[in-house]
Amino acid sequence: MLGAVLGAGFAAFVYMEVNGHHVTGMDNQVVWGLPHVFAVFLIVAASGALNVASVASVFGKVEYKPLAPFSGVVAVAVMAGGLAILAADLGRPDRLIVAMTHFNFKSIFALNMFLYSGFFAIVAVYLWFMMERRMNRWSGMAGLAAFLWRLILTTGTGSIFGFLVAREAYDSALLGPTFVIYSFSYGTAIFLVAALGALRWDGRVLDDALTARLGRLLGIFTAASLYMTVVFHLTKLYVTRYHGVEAFILAEGGAYTALFWGGQVVLGGIVPLALLYSPRTGGRRAAILAASVLVVLGGPAQMYVAIVGAQAFPQPIFPGWQESSRFFDGEIHPYAASLPELLLSLGGVALAAAMIAVALKVLPLIPDSCTDSSSPPLTSPPARPR
Amino acid sequence: MSGNARRGFLGTAAAALAGAALAPGIRLIDLAVARAPGEAVTGKVRWGLLIDSNQCATGCTDCVTACNRENGLQDTGRPRIDAQWIRKIDLKDAKTGREQSAPVMCQHCAHPPCVDVCPTGASFKRADGIVLVDRHTCIGCRYCVMACPYKARSFVHENLADQKPDVPRGKGCVEGCTLCVHKIDRGDGNTACAEACTSAGHGAITFGDLNDPASTISKRLRELPNRALRADLRLDPGVRYSGV
């Protein structure tokens, strides 16, 4: 199944590159489409998937320690999936080597290339230190380095948009920290979905107390994400010249407005919070899994609004004048993702899932038992005796 | 007059005569801005345009047609996908109903956001102020399209045929107005859009050296009230607008 989706994604990539991007829904008004939505979502989520390891290594919560290596693997796999989409969507993917040899250090994109490749290297070293007993004593330091690196990385990813002063929907330094907070909730949710899924695949269940603890962490991050969303839009609304674009996103934007309120806020924020904190469902495995899935689905909704919605709204070139042209100035730009874009995007998700599955097969990622005396039991019922 | 004094007088007179004879020539060379092939572009000149929207006729698209012809841009019947290096924007004052029209192209900013964001340095600014894309290092990421406040960059969505030898283009790369750099470099001294506008009798587009106080564009910029588009961004564009 994963192989089929991966194959379809690769076929979509070849089809788009041979024919050119005119076979996609993207055009010269909306140049970043669904592939970018998924790519940026996965990249942001990847850095957040490292949360569990960071909480164990950096913040000394030993109960998360047995899950830390899996957290690192999920982070690397999801990052690889996101970057694969981004690279496959380039106009000239054959020039990837150019991108790796020519750098404009004023470009946040160029800086991010170092941040992304450095992320792989640092998390790999961190995984090695965690999984190699002789190197364990250094794992705390590697964990701190990985944590700081991922904070910078996500700030850089948010800044790709934040520094685009030409687009009224962006143009805010708040997007850097906002993306960091989003990454906490997306990453924790993706980790929970992967961990619960992997253990079920293995015929085991995650310890109830640990599941509940991770659920509470997800609740805090989801609430923080909603808070950042509110603050971001309030700061925009404070500036009169942004009222048009804010009205578009929040009230008049059709699909974008529906995705914002329905997808990002309600399904991706309020419903998960209700599931996680309601006295009837809070702490229950099924509720935590459902909340995680909803947060994961809310992520692409948020990115769709942020990336495509921002381009759909016209750029004011002559502020104060009504503009019209044969190049669609002054108009809302339509966008509908094509099948190749969807397949390419899902291919990236499948790549991440396949990497996690392979890693689970070849690496002792989720321990059979928690022999570490400092950690409470991980699996329930207790693991088989060796 | 003693021998020494005479010799001094003759020397001074010869120098003055030589100066008087050579100066116009030097000045002429300066005016023609002739640059030998292979000679590096310098920052002594800054090429730019002045658009006078009061002279620009609504409905006239001669500048767009000339640009497309000069640079080999073709109409594929898919306007949302076609590259657009210059376009006419019709404007209406929302309060008063006053109508204007003006062409918009790459504004050749002194501080171009497209150059700032380009990861590989493919977007670059020449010493003479012309902002270009190096087609050999553009990876087609479209970050510059996202960053341009003037919607002046286009991405090539499909294979191209019948290209102009002077204007290389390619699928998967981003492109935009080059200020007819191939014409400037061969000494034509004008852009296709400005030539077409003059031929049509409007004279709404003036091309020239913004650094030369004696150039026509500098003189007109001194006479006409004018401004930069999106002046709030302080990008110091090489294209200025009068009448809007």
CA–CA dist A46, A351 (Å, integer):
13
Residues of chain A with pLDDT under 50: 369-386
Question: What is the pLDDT, as a whole number, of residue B20?
Answer: 56
Question: What is the pLDDT, as a whole number, of residue B9?
Answer: 62
pTM over 0.80: yes
Confidence of residue B37 (pLDDT cuts 50, 70, 90): low
Tokens 């913004």 found at: B210
- Choose among B84, B119, B173: nearest Cβ to A28: B84
A15 close contact with B: CB closer than 8 A: no
In 3D, which of A311, A333, A152, A259 has the Cα closest to residue B147?
A: A311
Whether this model's ipTM surpasses 0.85 comes out as yes
Domain CATH number, residue A226: 1.20.1630.10
Cβ <8 Å between B139 and A96: yes
Confidence of residue B32 (pLDDT cuts 50, 70, 90): very low
> Which of residues A207 and B14 earns the better pLDDT score?
A207
Residue A328 included in any domain: yes
Count Cβ neighbours within 10 Å for each residue of A349-381 and write b for 16 or more, e otherwise.
bbbbbbbbeebbeeeebbbeebeeeebeebbee
Q: Which residues of B touch A321 (CB under 8 A)?
A: 91-94, 100, 244
Give the range of the structural domain holding residue A13, as residue numbers without chain letter. Answer: 2-362
* Contact in structure between B227 and A320 (CB atoms under 8 Å): no
- List pLDDT tens digits, range B60-102: 999 999 999 999 999 888 999 999 999 999 999 989 999 999 9
A240 close contact with B: CB closer than 8 A: no
Residue A377 included in any domain: no
Q: What percent of chain A has pLDDT over 70?
A: 95
A98 close contact with B: CB closer than 8 A: yes
A374 close contact with B: CB closer than 8 A: no
Tokens 């830390």 found at: A68
- The count of domains in chain A is 1
Hey, of A23, A30, A107, A163, which one would you mutate to test binding to chain B, going by the most B CBs within 10 A of its CB?
A: A107
Count Cβ atoms below 10 Å from residue A150 Cβ, excluding itself.
27
User: Chain A closest CA to B167's CA: distance in Å?
Assistant: 19
* Contact in structure between B184 and B32 (CB atoms under 8 Å): no
Cβ <8 Å between B172 and A20: yes
How would CATH label the architecture of B47-242?
2-Layer Sandwich (3.30)
Q: Which residues of A touch B79 (CB under 8 A)?
A: 326-328
Strands (E), chain A: 321-325
User: Chain B closest CA to A30's CA: distance in Å?
Assistant: 9
- List pLDDT tens digits, range A212-264: 999 999 999 999 999 999 999 999 999 999 999 999 999 999 999 999 999 99
Cβ <8 Å between B229 and A317: yes
* Contact in structure between B205 and B103 (CB atoms under 8 Å): yes
| Helix-helix angle A108-131:A34-49, to 10 degrees | 40
Whether residue B19 has pLDDT greater than 70: no
Q: From residue B172, how far is each of A372, B136, B140, B177, B190 by CA, in Å?
A: 54, 11, 5, 17, 29
Q: Which residues of A touch B145 (CB under 8 A)?
A: 28, 31
CA A374 to the chain's CA centroid: 32
Whether residue B149 has pLDDT greater than 70: yes
Question: What is the pLDDT, as a whole number, of residue B34?
Answer: 52
Q: Rounded mean pLDDT of B143-164? A: 95
For chain B, positions 177-236, list CB contacts with chain A under 8 A.
229-230, 233
